[in-house]
Chains A and B, each alone.
Chain A
Amino acid sequence: MEKLRKQIRRIEQSPVYADVKNGVKKGLKEKLFSVFRFVIILGISYVILAPVIGLVSSSFFSNADAYSPTVFTIPMAPTLERYQRAIVHLKYLPTLGRTMLFSISLTLIQLMVCSMAGYGFARFRFPLKKLLFACVVVMIVIPSYTIMLPLYVTFRDFDPLGLVTLLTGAPINLMGTTWPVYIMTGLGCGLRSGLFIYIFNQFFRGLPREIEEAAFVDGAGTWYTYFRIMLLNAMPAVITVSVFSLVWQYNDTFFGRLFLISNNVLLSKRVSSLQVNIRTLDKIMDPSIQQLYVSAGIVLLMLPMVILYLLLQKKFVESVERSGIVG
């Protein structure tokens, strides 16, 4: 008995035993943790995906499905009628084309202007630089809602420095056109431009100076260096900003509402008037049926961005990680 106990003690004291014991403990811990992680992720994914699934499935519901209390999520008599009518009311393809053109052009302008400002702040020295960069931060913090009224007035009678009056005799009214958004984005004050300038600034600051010096030695000018070398090196930031910018422009209704931009150009605005159209034009009075058409319309609105996102997803996530968004 004594011998056995001694032997056990000897085994317990041997380094191999400790390793094995720790290994088992660690393996168990890892397993428990991965179970825990799986449960949490499943729960959160459910909260995110459940409404999306519900939306998609209800857009296929026929009238019978909508009224039947036994139908849940999976329609018994699926129909494409909701989509057909929604596509007609939204004038889907032409409107989508114009919306995409609008959002993509704005994204390109925003990329250009914000990357330039970011580069300027990151690499050059000029008076009041600190103060001016503080202004960028102010721009992020002050929501565009604060200045919506003056913006409305500004573009209602658009007359910067009296130039328009000088040329045409009277200020022009830019309400109902897309010009206000283009002008603001072109001057670096578009949708969340401050955030994009910040991201670009952080990224350019993180790039080694040797890249530029090499370009200068080889005789490249500042602008050539910027366009052909720095922007290419800043690809992660470019991708991050383009995805954010495109998605936010595409979904935005604030500027659309404020500047009374026509429904022909903005799919998101058209979707929000879909229910009224269904009621007044098609005389479908039951709100629960109207809602099915709205679901179809919203699925149509989401579809292009979701497809784009799934295509770009991997690149996007990688770029975000390397884009120094965090500084």
Chain B
Amino acid sequence: MSRKRMIIGLLFIMPWLIGFIYFYVRTLFMTGQFSLSEISIASTGGFQLSFVGLDNFLYAFRAHPSFKQILTTSMFNMVVDVPLIIFFSLFVAMLLNRRFKGRALVRAIFFLPIILNADAITEALTMQLQMMTGGLSPMSSEVASAAGNATVSVGYYLSLFENLALPPVVLDYIVGAVSRISDIITASGVQIIIFIAALQSIPPALYEVCRIEGATGYETFWKITFPMMMPHIITNVVYTVVDAFAKSPVVDLAYSTAFTEYQYGLSSVFSLVSTLLVCLLLVIVVRIIQKRTFYYD
């Protein structure tokens, strides 16, 4: 019986397993192979590999004009954005979790960015936002962004805060967060959904105990809500990092190197190096969070 169950179980996952081996294991191996070789397209449309060792890697790190900058900025932006997105979405989820009038409407609006995440749509919406905040009639994006700076100078209002005794690093971070608020909001749709679902799954008995023991809202958050959210914070961090990576300039670079400059080997190096870095980042972050994570069961 258990043997039969085992076979049926394997049958259930069989389509995925075949796909995984054929499309992931094999292709990852191929990417590695490409990165170590010079690829030339034969006239018949096929391709030939000739082994060149680490040449592609050396070229990418020593000679390529922009790879290193693009890689570091992509990574840096990711590290800066992820905590902002996580805290923002947790905050919004807690706000939306309570019952209030018009909650359905608010939720409909907040999940709208998930529906509108096509490249073309995002681009057009970013441009519109510039126009709306700049208070201009439609014109080409260059003009709008140039003129937008002249009409609404966010920088001026932010400079007012410079005299506070905040360390410049913190101030820069906050200024960056404020100026990217729309990016952060549009990138948090799925995370808000995950957090709301997670908040619903916290047993209400825990909150009841808190109330009886006389804990304040602040204490309740740090002693109950936040620890219970920890596992989901991990899920969200993974999702956010992967999502941010897919949209990062380093991916565009890999794409254009392969399909407009036809340097397939180099493009494989870019993909491989950036993926490895992202995986490393994920492992580190997940490890750090996991150490502090409390699992209910």
Contacts and interface: CB of A to CB of B under 8 A. Distances in A.
A166 interface: no
Nearest to A160: B22
Interface residues of A, number: 104
A254 B86 CA distance: 26
Nearest to A109: B15
A41 interface: yes
A143 interface: yes
Nearest to B264: A149
A68 interface: yes
Contact of B267 (A73, A127, A149): A149
Nearest to B196: A321
A117 B138 contact: no
Interface extent on B, as a size class? Answer: 35 or more
Contacts of B245: 143
B30 A117 contact: no
B47 interface: yes
B165 interface: no
A52 interface: yes
Q: Determine chain A's interface SS by DSSP, over half rule.
A: helix
A61 B129 contact: no
Given A151-B23, A251-B118, A294-B124, A54 B9 contact: no
A188 B28 contact: no
Contacts of A268: 118-120
Interface stretch (B70-78, B99-107, B166-174): B99-107
Nearest to B91: A40
Given A44-B92, A148-B258, A153-B30, A317 B12 contact: no
Interface string B1-42: 010011011111101111110111011101100100000000
Interface string A221-255: 01000100000000000000000100110111100
Interface of B: 2, 5-6, 8-13, 15-20, 22-24, 26-28, 30-31, 34, 45-47, 92, 95, 100, 104, 106-121, 124-129, 131-133, 135-140, 143, 181-182, 185-186, 193-194, 196-198, 200-201, 231-232, 235, 238-239, 242, 245-246, 251, 254-255, 258, 264, 267-268, 271-272, 275, 278-279, 282
25 contacts: A47-B129, A51-B126, A53-B132, A54-B128, A58-B138, A61-B138, A120-B12, A125-B6, A126-B9, A140-B238, A141-B238, A142-B28, A145-B251, A150-B28, A154-B27, A195-B239, A251-B117, A251-B119, A253-B119, A268-B119, A288-B139, A292-B138, A294-B124, A295-B138, A326-B198
